[in-house]
Structures are given as structure tokens and as C-alpha cells.
Structure 1
């Protein structure tokens, strides 16, 4: 009887563990797409953003350095719209992949990049896409850079990237994938799975309960989404004036060991030991856990401080976790 009790306790501990890791993946190449848009060349009502360009550039640089430290070859695509230029040369700038090359952050350039990666990547590779920019109220669509040579944008519809379109394009890429979004209402991008519903789009506790008991097993997903917020706004760091970041992204950078003094060339900086490191690996969950514990804004609304801003990051994956880097 004692052996049976111990066996049952062991099974309970295993099944109730907060994380289930995927099988040890073979670590292949790393593909990185970092998107930052400040909207300053948009002669319309779109608000300018100050932290998005530093977000994209520094995430790009940090992930590259971590890939090198993990001895994983990498290929990078930096898609930016920075400043007020909207001449044809700027709008059509697209140089493909390469270190330090900057391509214009239009919708077409994004999907051209995803197609290029899908034609190159293998099942052992890792693709990380980061986006810092606007998200559409309630629906979450990413707002990419416009392509009007006079800067006058009558409609943002040609600039929008819907969640289902991005998820479909990323899913077509072989290997492991991670989407990181620092934008308002970005939780809409967190996908449903056979074993889970969207906590953003589905509000009924009865639906969640039924899904839990319907008998579906956990799959091993190869596409994860990490977002700055649920169905709410995301914010830029209120304490930054001359070197701004998104609240979510600055904490993500800290999780990856990044410390960028203002005015220092980022190419000369090496990240420190990532605080999100768990043993010898960085995982999606280790990043998410660090952000929730350390971001400058609270993660939930406080009835005692109703005017205080809050921001709750989300992650997909359920009980499953995915290894990103192994050292």
C-alpha cells in the first residue's frame, strides 16, 4: 500500500507540474525578424511612438548575441520605419537578409521576409519575430508602415496585419517559432489549440470547463506567442525620456541580460548572463515569468488605484514550454 501511495503521489507531482518541456530539440540556425515603426512619416492621425525603434534595434542585437553565445548560426532581418521620410527610395528599400541591413517595415516586405525564411529554414531551426508598434483597438491587428509617397494616408487598411494572417505565415515556417508583440490588444494573437481556448476572445467559464474535460490531449506546439497585453493598451516606459522603450520590451531585454547605457553604440555591447536562464536553457516560459515579476507596471487593475495604468502580458502554450537557447 505504501508503494502504491508513493507511486500515486509521484504521478500527481508530475502531472501537476507547471511546465512540461518539449523533447530536447536539436538546435539549428536562428532567424530573427525585428520590426519597429515610429509612424513619424505618416501625415495622418496615427500617433507617433518613441520607444518602438529602440525596441526593435536592441532586441535584434541582443538575440543575435545570444545566438552567437549559444553557438547557433543566425540570419537577421531588421524592418524599420524611422523618421519622416516617405520618398520612393525609402518606401521600396528592401535588401533581403544580412547583418545591419535595414529594410522598410511595410506589409509586403514583412510577408516577403516570412516567405524567404520558410524556403530556407529546417525543422531544427528557430524563428523569432518581434513587433513594436500600434495594435488596433479591440481587434489587435498590427499596423505596418504606409507606402504613400506623399505621406498622406487615407486608410490604414492596407497597412494592417490580422492575427490569422501572421499566424498562418509563421506556421508555414519549418521548426520552432516565437512571435513577440509589444502592441495594444496584442493578446488577440494568442492562438487557441486543441486543448485550450482563448482567454481573450472566449469569456465563458462554461466553455473553458467543457474544453478542459472533453478529453483532448496536449500537443507539442511549435509556434508560441508572447504578448505585452491582453485585450488592453500597452505602454511605453514612463521613466524614459531620452531613450524610450515599451514597458514590456524593456523588461524582456532585462530578462535576456541586456543593459544599454544611453549614447553607447549597441554593436559594442555584449549582453550579460540572462536572468531568465534556467539551468542551461532559456525558454518561452522563463521569459514570461521574468516579465510578469519585474515589469514596471502592475499586471492587473487595482480597485484601490483605479486611475493607475496596468498591463498584463500573455503567452500561449498551456502546460507546454519550448526551449529557445541552450548554453
Structure 2
């Protein structure tokens, strides 16, 4: 009888503990938007980008609306031709790394950091940022590109090293599939890039999900991405998937859980450029990180 009483008492205490266990704390979200038009640099004027700044500005509005009522903040790092190197929000390589490291350091485990990039990308996936020179020169007089304008895939992931929560990268640039590792559950078409294997092993292999990084990229590692006069094709569809009504500047009702997988599928089926074609400049195929995890935004 005494044994039964002790067992009942223990069970009662156990159930009592279960009942008073607090629900998980809802985390904060922060959106860092990086976008460059390249106006005022010494790249060809034909290579200036019209849709990048609208990408960043409208994504900021979309996330502000999506997370309305939540603890959400945003930062715009824009390059528009009126550039001052003393402006810490001018997207030079040093400024971008410093901002990402600062945001990563401030994260708790429940937080989400969203980083969007709209701009040029190199064949190895490197982002082309603003030069740390007053003349805005990206290319030297000999025609070679200065390396101090390039933020490599590895350098970006290194800047995220201290992030405790979840990170979502939204990459609208050429060759942005370099940020994605192919897997059996990935929608990506890319193959492994040997020089990025260390990064892939750290963030995307089994057992590495304690600091998950989710990636939605405009295209594969071996193809370009394009834009209209108002947006990148990828970001245009992404905004629609987020429920952002740009014409009326309001959030429309989305009868759907908005997650990374959902956004990929929305872009896949709704982007206004072909998924495949004979000529690379006529199409782009979005890519996404694979694996068992999905990131729910709302």
C-alpha cells in the first residue's frame, strides 16, 4: 500500500511539472536586405541593375507586414549611386560582414535572421559588393576585378558562425545555387562544388541541424539570373508567395502556412521566366536546401 501511495505521489508530481512547464518563448526576427544598383561604379552601364533596390525595399515591407505584431526589425543596406564610404549601411564587404556578424552575435536560439541579396554574382557564387574606394571602381585600369569587392560563399557563412538561431538566405543573383548543397530531398539541380565542401559539411550534413541555415536561391550554380525593370524574376515571385500586394501596398490573406518549402514551390510555379530552355539566358531554375527540416515563417 505504501509503495502504491509513493508511486501515485510521484506520478502526481510528474504530471504537475508537466502542467506548469512554460511554452517555448517566441523568438525575434530580423531582415537584413542587401541590394546594389552599381550606378556610380565603373562597370558597364549596361550592367547596372534596375530591379535590385525595389527588391530590397518591397521585401522589407513584405516582412514587416508578415511579422506584424511580432518582435521584428529590419535593416536596409542599399547602394544607389549616392554613396558615402562613411555610411555604415553602404554595402561594402567590410560593412556587410560587420553587420552580419553583429546580428549573428545578438541571436537567441528561437530567433530567425533573414538575409536577402539582390545584385551581381560571380561564377563561384561570390557576391559583388561596393568598393572601398571613393571613385567607386570595381575594375582596375587593366580591366581586372578588385578582389575586395567580392564576398565569397565561405566568407558569408563564416560571418554566420556565431548565429544561435535559424538563418534564411534569399539570394537573387547569378550563380546563387553555389549557396545550396544538393541532396536526395533537395529541389536543387546542382552538383557538389569541391571547394565548398567544408561549408556544406558544417551546415547541411546530417547532425548539423543545431544551427540550421536555409537557402532559397534564384538559380543553379551554373546559370545566370535576370530581372525586369521592377524586380528580379525570383524576388517578384517570392513577394507574391509572401502575400505582399505591391500595387496596393498591403498584405493579402494567404490561406497557407508560409514556410521555406512553400515559398520555393510558389516561386517554382509562378515565376515569369521559363524553368528550362536551350539558352541559359532564357531561363532560371530556383534552388533550395534539402534535408528533413523546414522553416515556418508564419
TM-score, structure 1 normalization: 0.71
Distance in 2, matches of 1:162 and 1:308, equals 23
* Matched position secondary structure for 1:80: strand
| 1:320 equivalenced with 2:293 (yes/no) | yes
What is the 5 A alignment of 1:1-327?
27-45=26-44, 47-68=47-68, 71-83=69-81, 85-86=82-83, 90-94=84-88, 103-136=89-122, 138-153=123-138, 154=140, 155-191=145-181, 199-202=189-192, 220=209, 222-230=212-220, 231-237=222-228, 241=229, 244-261=230-247, 269-274=249-254, 278=256, 281-301=257-277, 309-325=282-298
Q: Deviations over 1:62-114 (max 9, x none)?
A: 1112111xx3211211000012x34xxx12212xxxxxxxx211111111111
1:159–1:25 Cα change, 3 Å = farther
Partner Cα separation in structure 1 for residue 49 and residue 284 of structure 2: 17
1:117-151 superposed Cα distances (whole Å, 9 cap, x missing partner): 12221000010000000001x21110011221123
C-alpha distance in structure 1 between counterparts of 2:264 and 2:149, whole Å: 29
1:27 shift after superposition: 3.0
Three-state SS of the structure 1 residue aligned to 2:168 is strand
Query: Aligned to 1:312, what secondary structure does the other structure show?
Result: coil
Partner residue, 1:17: none
Shift of 1:189: 0.9
Q: Is the 8 A contact 1:256 1:273 kept in 2?
A: no
| Distance (whole Å) between structure 2 residues aligned to residue 65 and residue 141 of structure 1 | 31
Contact 1:30–1:74 (8 Å) recurs in 2: yes
Q: Distance in 2 between matches of 1:320 and 1:120?
A: 23
Residue 297 of structure 1 contacts residue 311 of structure 1 at CA under 8 Å; is this kept in 2? yes
Structure 2: 5+ residue stretches without partners:
1-22, 194-204
Distance in 2 (alpha carbons) for counterparts of 1:254 and 1:247: 11
SS in 1 for 2:164: coil
Q: How far apart are the structure 1 equivalents of 2:206 and 2:179?
A: 22
Consecutive unaligned residues in structure 1, runs of 5 or more: 1-23, 95-102, 204-215
Partners of 1:26 and 1:194 in 2: how far apart?
33
- Relative distance call for 1:193 and 1:110 in structure 2 (3 A) is farther
> Could you tell me how far apart the structure 2 residues matched to 1:109 and 1:122 are?
22
Q: Provide the C-alpha distance between the structure 2 equivalents of 1:236 and 1:249, rounded to a whole number of angstroms.
A: 9
Larger Rg: 2
Distance in 2, matches of 1:156 and 1:135, equals 14
- Once residues 57 and 292 of structure 2 are traced to their aligned partners in structure 1, the CA distance between those partners, rounded to angstroms, is 32
SS of residue in 1 equivalent to 2:160: helix
SS in 1 for 2:258: strand
Aligned equivalents of 2:281, 2:93: Cα separation in 1: 34
Q: Could you say what secondary structure the match of 2:297 adopts?
A: strand
Deviation of the 1:217 alpha carbon: 5.3
Displacement of 1:311: 0.6
